């Protein structure tokens, strides 16, 4: 429970795309902003924050268990290495991890995500069953491990149980090393509803489809029908790899995003994860639908996926968010930097995301504000940021960070994203509760010990 009548005062805050001075912020007991008012002298009873503040971002795509694999796939022992060979090695981790280990790994990840500036995480959750593929007596066993981890770390969670039925377009069933992922439409809807029924604090739920290759057209249609009238988000991996595009063309005669736009009732609830390989016509179709796109720059770089057509996505006005996905990076500043730098390398231009024609000459501002709005939708929120009614989340900037020294206020966001390395956020407020203070997570040391224990056990199981 948030402190009743939490009253804060920040010397500066990022409000509505601008730095504003002397900002009063008051949170309600249920962890929402009741008042955000700039140009206000500090009341005597207000807690004065140690630096400027920005809103927390939503991490719109996460596979928490893959935090146990980060750093373990950076060697090549064969003639080539790509997404598909990485995936086979990742599956071996997925087959070993149990509920207690998942909780420990996820808690470590979620604590790191908070320190990296995320205050809500969308968990694309397909690790449903026991190691042998048998169903747990409680079908929410693995989901509950994630909820406990989020509660322990203090981060908000949007749980997205995943529809996962087959290994590929030409295969009717899953591979044996995918046995823990098996689910049908009824499963996914039931798990979503059960997660909501528990009414855990700051836990939302939607649904997900692993990919077009992993679910039949009939099942995708059935899930969309089952979600008719439900406001929860619907996420899907799509067009991440050129191999996936080629397989979809061979199987359906259409590209993945082309097929989805023509055959599924996509709308503002839908989030297309990766969408790395998209044609202008496909981007325009997504824009017309109102759906959003979730880009995971560090993972897409790490796996050799490619770079998205960011200028076209932005110009089309498609809602955009970012995610940590495989967990090789756990901070949104690095994701935004990687997103822009991939464009600069590809196009041989600078400040690709900036839009001076629209009055936004700051690349960091355009990307941050896009991710702020797009991430809220991806997580299932109608209000987000430093606004009355939104979750009482914020990040306090370390004013002594060397990246900010000597810079005018107007360039602080630019420096936070593009002048690296930067220190983690000094303090993090989530749902009206301080979860990071003076760079320290309250439960960080205990969470780290449990993580090491889990990693040692996983290594012993290998």
The catalytic residue among 61, 125, 235, 325 is: 325
| Cβ pair 313, 371 in contact under 8 A | no
Structure tokens at 251: 């199987």
Q: Please confirm, yes or no, whether 274 is among the known catalytic residues.
A: yes
What is the C-alpha separation between 195 and 122, in angstroms, rounded? 14
Q: Please confirm, yes or no, whether 441 is among the known catalytic residues.
A: no
The catalytic residue among 63, 129, 235, 274 is: 274
Measuring CA to CA, which residue among 212, 281, 209 is closest to residue 252?
Answer: 212
* Tokens 């995918």 -> residue: 178
- Residues acting as catalytic residues: 274, 325
């Amino acid at each position: 429970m948030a402190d009743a009548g939490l009253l804060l005062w920040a010397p500066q805050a990022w409000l509505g795309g601008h730095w504003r001075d002397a900002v009063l912020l008051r949170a309600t007991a249920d962890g929402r902003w009741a008042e955000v008012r700039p140009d206000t002298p500090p009341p005597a009873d207000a807690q004065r924050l140690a630096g400027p503040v920005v809103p927390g971002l939503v991490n719109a795509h996460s596979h928490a268990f893959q935090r146990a694999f980060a750093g373990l796939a950076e060697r090549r022992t064969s003639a080539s290495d790509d997404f598909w060979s990485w995936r086979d090695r990742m599956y071996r981790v997925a087959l070993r991890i149990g509920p207690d280990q998942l909780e420990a790994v996820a808690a470590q990840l979620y604590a790191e995500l908070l320190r990296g500036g995320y205050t809500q995480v969308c968990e694309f959750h397909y690790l449903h069953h026991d190691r042998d593929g048998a169903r747990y007596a409680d079908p929410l066993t693995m989901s509950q491990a994630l909820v406990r981890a989020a509660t322990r770390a203090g981060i908000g969670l949007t749980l997205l149980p995943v529809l996962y039925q087959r290994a590929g377009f030409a295969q009717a069933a899953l591979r044996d090393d995918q046995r823990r992922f098996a689910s049908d439409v009824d499963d996914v809807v039931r798990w979503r509803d059960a997660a909501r029924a528990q009414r855990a604090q700051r836990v939302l739920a939607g649904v997900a489809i692993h990919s077009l290759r992993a679910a039949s057209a009939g099942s995708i249609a059935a899930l969309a029908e089952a979600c008719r009238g439900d406001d929860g988000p619907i996420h899907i991996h799509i067009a991440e790899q050129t191999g996936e595009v080629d397989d979809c063309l061979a199987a359906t005669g259409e590209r993945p995003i082309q097929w989805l736009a023509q055959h599924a009732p996509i709308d503002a609830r839908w989030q297309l994860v990766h969408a790395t390989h998209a044609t202008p016509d496909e981007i325009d179709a997504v824009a017309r639908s109102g759906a959003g796109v979730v880009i995971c720059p560090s993972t897409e770089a790490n796996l050799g996926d490619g770079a998205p057509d960011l200028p076209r996505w932005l110009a089309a006005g498609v809602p955009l968010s970012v995610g940590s996905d495989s967990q090789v990076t756990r901070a949104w500043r690095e994701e935004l930097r990687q997103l822009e730098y991939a464009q600069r390398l590809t196009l041989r231009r600078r400040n690709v995301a900036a839009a001076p024609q629209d009055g936004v000459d700051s690349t960091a501002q355009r990307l941050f504000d896009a991710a702020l709005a797009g991430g809220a939708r991806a997580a299932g929120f109608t209000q987000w940021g430093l606004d009355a009614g939104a979750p009482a989340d914020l990040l306090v900037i370390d004013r002594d960070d060397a990246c900010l020294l000597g810079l005018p206020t107007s360039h602080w966001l630019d420096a936070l994203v593009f002048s690296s390395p930067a220190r983690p956020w000094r303090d993090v407020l989530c749902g009206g509760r301080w979860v990071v203070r003076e760079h320290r997570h309250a439960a960080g040391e205990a969470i780290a010990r449990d993580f090491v224990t889990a990693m040692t056990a996983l290594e012993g199981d290998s």
